[in-house]
Structure 1
Amino acid sequence: MLGHTFVGLVDNVMVGQLGTAELAAVSLGNSFMFIAMSLGIGFSTAITPLVAEADGENNFKNGKSAYKHGLFLCTTIGIALFLVILAAKPLMYLMKQPPEVVELAIPYLDLVAFSLIPLVSFQALKQFSDGLSMTKYPMYATLVANVVNIALNYLLIFGKFGFPQMGIVGAAIGTLVSRFAMVALMWAFLRYKEKSKQYVSNIKFFVLENKMIHKIVSLGFPSALQMFFEVAIFTAAIWLSGILGKNPQAANQIALNLASMTFMVAMGLSVAAMVRVGNQKGLQHFRDLRRIAISIFLLTFLLEVIFAIFFILCNEMLPKIYLDVKDVENLVDNTEVISIAAELLIIAALFQISDGIQVTVLGALRGLQDVKIPTFITFIAYWVIGFPISYYLGLHTEYKNSGIWIGLLAGLTVSAVLLYIRFDYLTKDLIKKN
């Protein structure tokens, strides 16, 4: 999960050397991508609990069916999301964003949008592999993809070793090629590993069963909405900060990228919760299920507290990684961006604790295959409570960017509390009935 975000970190750090307008353009382009990725990645999470439950029951047939149908549906969704992003590009001109930022963002988005197809297909392979507790192989594929991305960024953004200097379009090419590399590597791992090769061999890809399609969609669609509601409020924060100007938007991107890095640790633990809860559900061991899940929640809380302390202590130093502080021509802009980002990291230190808890509890609930009520909870937390606070404090008070992030903190905290109450109720009820 860190590897996914590291692609964005590398793009932001390298593009940030070009200037704040280029960094804001990547932020704007990726705001569309975040929404599409949330739907694709959220949908793919339906595969993991089904495979984990089948693995717990030692039911090979159900596990293989979940893999085949999940891969087919995810690939189809990846293509659909790519086409939707292309159709949505004109919205950039209607969003009151800085004109120079929009002009830079359009060509970047064209290429990055196409990378949705391999990304969502990779997610299907990854979620299947996770369901079999084979979590190392997606990590290896993602690490190699990051090396490919860094190398291509260096060559194409700055025009090194005779390659053309392409600026942020070069970053988009690096991202696209690295995501195709991830799919190829992941397929090779699954095809040749003893535990998985029977699942991925002799697949009749277009021979589909309505029952399994319905099962994956009934789990995947609400899971996609859960992730969409959260990512969409962060995307709204990018757009709101864009109304404040290119420097606030660039600062927002820096703080958001740093917070995303630590969030991905919790996201990885969320997958662990999903897999282990799915295993225990298949075994009907509900006391162990609850004990394991709460242990993961506690581990997440402790790690996020450590990250929070790190953000508070290093809030002024971390944003400087993204910008050339020696660039005299852009010194005023860069200084303003660093100052705003440092303030946001203090709020990020607090909200990532709530964010970590809510995503691991959500993973445990997905392992229980409970997705409908959590979807309603996430909508209320982010869009009935969080977004109105972000909008009012960000655009109508002196808090500005900090006000936008206070709204994010409120939404994430409400989500964490309500989702834990849901988990607590369900697990106690299962133990009592058992």
Structure 2
Amino acid sequence: MRLSVYIKESRYNISLAYPVILGMLGHTITGIIDNIMVGQLGVAQLAAASLGNSIIFMAMSIGIGFSTAITPLVAEADAAKDVSKVRSVFHHGIFMCTLLGLALFIAVWLARPSMFYMGQPQEVVQLAGPYTSLVAFSLVPMIMFQGYKQFADGLAFTKYAMYAVVVANIINVILNYFLIYGIGFFPELGIVGAAVSTLVSRIVMLLYMHYIMSKNEKLISYFTGFRIKEIKQSILRRITALGVPSSMQMFFEIALFNTAIWLSGSIGKNSQAANQIALSLASLTFMFAVGLSVAATIRVGNQKGLRDYNKLKVVARSIFLLAVMIEIVFALVFTVFHNQLPLIFLNLDDTLQFSDNTEAISIASTLLIVAAVFQLSDGIQVVVLGALRGLQDVKIPTLITFVAYWVIGFPISYYLGLHTELKATGIWIGLLSGLTAAALFLYLRFHYLTTRLLAKVPVHGA
């Protein structure tokens, strides 16, 4: 098929994806700003935020991954003009996201003492405890927000989450400034101030999302008729059947990256801080692929509902191509500026910590070279996962991600990081290996499924 056919789809792909990208970038930039502001306090504080967030992100990955089940179900029902099903999926999805958010908060709060047994620097663990407790509670509004977001995404209203994240980011940055450093009459809370800011901004984000969606004339009917007694086990099982495997897919990847944080911490706080710097930058570029992944879920879900499998394959491949082009650009940026980008995070004018900061920056610059290479693999695997989610194929992809990240990626990270001179760089080579394996096998899975679907369709029905 000619390249022009795929390029023709790019305009609509971008129109769907860019609000999601901007919204996800908002989340990531908030984290980067937190890291920059906390990093000005020192390497130990930055490492503590990294350690605390490693546990938070594992819980968050489960919640966000589970919530993604809402999008393909809504997209399919919307394409079929089934309004009652759309409403039902929305109500059941919000109900489950609320319960899951509470469960994840309790799980993280109970898991905090485990940080003392991870072989991390004691100074870092002591700083991470209070920070983790506050950010853990923010999981409740965060996962509820995801329920609203995935519903809106399924209806192609992808801008609402972007607006809510922008508002939350502004609040977070302002509160960070006053609470971390103790400006004016505000107390100087240090790393805890960043946690308070995160909690407040996520509560505002949820409330704002509910407000702007409920005021939309096209959506207002979906906000009526919610009653606990109308919750049906059949719908809960349908969402769970998609949500649990989807949450595991995201969990396996996030857990691998978190393991990189812990392995780096066992090497030393400078390696852990460097890992956080490189991970923050890689996460920033990854959000572009995440936005395209959401577009893939929506568009593939719509074509599945319409049973137009020829169009489905064209749409998906057009998004894959767009992701590859974008990630090549980011790979070049990381390669060219790998020595300059880490300088944003640490203060080289701090004479007391000059040695630590210099070492952390040196390690981070090397990690960015590896990150430049895995941009392609990371981008491909997430957009293909989005397309598979649109097909409501989640079980086999979950197995693929487990094997790629934990049978292939983790052993390489562990061996090269702790048993060779590569250290932190070796850990990231393991990440690269896992992501590359996931990208390859997930694409093969998508090709197999779409080929099988097309084989069942008569030529005149294309």
User: Aligning the two structures, in what range does the TM-score lie when normalised by the shorter sequence?
Assistant: over 0.9
Output the CA distance in 1 between the equivalents of 2:416 and 2:359. Answer: 20
How many Å apart are 1:201 and its aligned residue? 2.2
SS in 2 for 1:195: coil
Which one of 338, 349, 352 corresponds to residue 326 of structure 1? 349
- 1:312 matched to 2:326: no
- Could you say which residue in structure 1 is the equivalent of 2:363? 340
Output the CA distance in 2 between the equivalents of 1:45 and 1:383. Answer: 23
- Could you say which residue in structure 1 is the equivalent of 2:274? 251
SS in 1 for 2:351: coil
How many Å apart are 1:206 and its aligned residue? 4.7
Output the CA distance in 1 between the equivalents of 2:147 and 2:78. Answer: 17
Which one of 50, 64, 82 corresponds to residue 41 of structure 1? 64
SS in 2 for 1:202: coil
- 1:129 matched to 2:152: yes
Aligned residue identity for 1:226: Q
Change (3 A) 1:417 1:134: same
Which one of 238, 245, 248 corresponds to residue 225 of structure 1? 248
Which one of 397, 407, 419 corresponds to residue 442 of structure 2? 419
Unmatched 5+ residue regions in structure 2? 1-23, 458-462
Output the CA distance in 2 between the equivalents of 1:196 and 1:235. Answer: 38
- Could you say which residue in structure 2 is the equivalent of 1:139? 162
- Could you say which residue in structure 1 is the equivalent of 2:456? 433
Retained in 2: the 8 A contact 1:68–1:205?
no
Q: Cα deviation per residue 1:334-379 (whole Å; 9 max; x = unaligned)?
A: 1001000000000001112100000000000000000000000000
Retained in 2: the 8 A contact 1:241–1:401?
yes
Aligned residue identity for 1:393: L
Which one of 87, 90, 110 corresponds to residue 67 of structure 1? 90
Aligned residue identity for 2:133: D
Aligned residue identity for 1:273: A
Which one of 279, 283, 286 corresponds to residue 309 of structure 2? 286
- Could you say which residue in structure 2 is the equivalent of 1:241? 264
- Could you say which residue in structure 2 is the equivalent of 1:354? 377
Retained in 2: the 8 A contact 1:7–1:146?
yes
| 1:92-111 mapped onto 2 (5 Å cutoff) | 92-111=115-134
How many Å apart are 1:432 and its aligned residue? 1.2
- Could you say which residue in structure 2 is the equivalent of 1:90? 113
- Could you say which residue in structure 2 is the equivalent of 1:215? 238
- Could you say which residue in structure 2 is the equivalent of 1:378? 401
Output the CA distance in 2 between the equivalents of 1:317 and 1:197. Answer: 49
How many Å apart are 1:190 and its aligned residue? 1.1
Retained in 2: the 8 A contact 1:191–1:201?
no
- Could you say which residue in structure 1 is the equivalent of 2:52? 29
Which one of 179, 193, 199 corresponds to residue 176 of structure 1? 199
How many Å apart are 1:58 and its aligned residue? 0.7
Output the CA distance in 2 between the equivalents of 1:315 and 1:326. Answer: 20
Output the CA distance in 2 between the equivalents of 1:140 and 1:349. Answer: 30
How many Å apart are 1:162 and its aligned residue? 1.5
| 1:1-40 mapped onto 2 (5 Å cutoff) | 1-40=24-63
Output the CA distance in 2 between the equivalents of 1:393 and 1:172. Answer: 34
SS in 1 for 2:188: coil
Which one of 242, 266, 270 corresponds to residue 289 of structure 2? 266
Unmatched 5+ residue regions in structure 1? none
| TM-score normalized with structure 2 length | 0.93
Aligned residue identity for 2:410: F
Retained in 2: the 8 A contact 1:44–1:123?
yes
Aligned residue identity for 1:399: L
| TM-score normalized with structure 1 length | 0.99
Aligned residue identity for 1:115: S
SS in 2 for 1:87: helix
Output the CA distance in 2 between the equivalents of 1:202 and 1:326. Answer: 59
Over 4 Å off, 4+ runs? none
Q: Cα deviation per residue 1:306-340 (whole Å; 9 max; x = unaligned)?
A: 00100111111111111112111111111001000
SS in 1 for 2:189: coil
How many Å apart are 1:189 and its aligned residue? 1.3
SS in 2 for 1:361: helix
How many Å apart are 1:202 and its aligned residue? 2.8
- Could you say which residue in structure 1 is the equivalent of 2:392? 369
Retained in 2: the 8 A contact 1:251–1:341?
yes
| 1:154-193 mapped onto 2 (5 Å cutoff) | 154-193=177-216
- Could you say which residue in structure 2 is the equivalent of 1:410? 433
Aligned residue identity for 2:407: V
Structure 1, 322-331 or 116-125: larger mean CA deviation: 322-331
Percent identical: 60
Output the CA distance in 2 between the equivalents of 1:195 and 1:72. Answer: 22
| 1:385-404 mapped onto 2 (5 Å cutoff) | 385-404=408-427
Count of aligned pairs between the two proteins = 434
Output the CA distance in 2 between the equivalents of 1:206 and 1:315. Answer: 56
- Could you say which residue in structure 1 is the equivalent of 2:7? none
Output the CA distance in 2 between the equivalents of 1:164 and 1:171. Answer: 12
- Could you say which residue in structure 1 is the equivalent of 2:141? 118
Aligned residue identity for 1:20: V
Retained in 2: the 8 A contact 1:55–1:132?
yes
Output the CA distance in 1 between the equivalents of 2:430 and 2:192. Answer: 33
Output the CA distance in 2 between the equivalents of 1:321 and 1:162. Answer: 28
Aligned residue identity for 1:230: E
Note the aligned Cα RMSD (angstroms). 0.7
Output the CA distance in 2 between the equivalents of 1:206 and 1:409. Answer: 48
Q: Cα deviation per residue 1:33-84 (whole Å; 9 max; x = unaligned)?
A: 1100100000000000000001110110111111000111011000000000
Aligned residue identity for 1:346: I
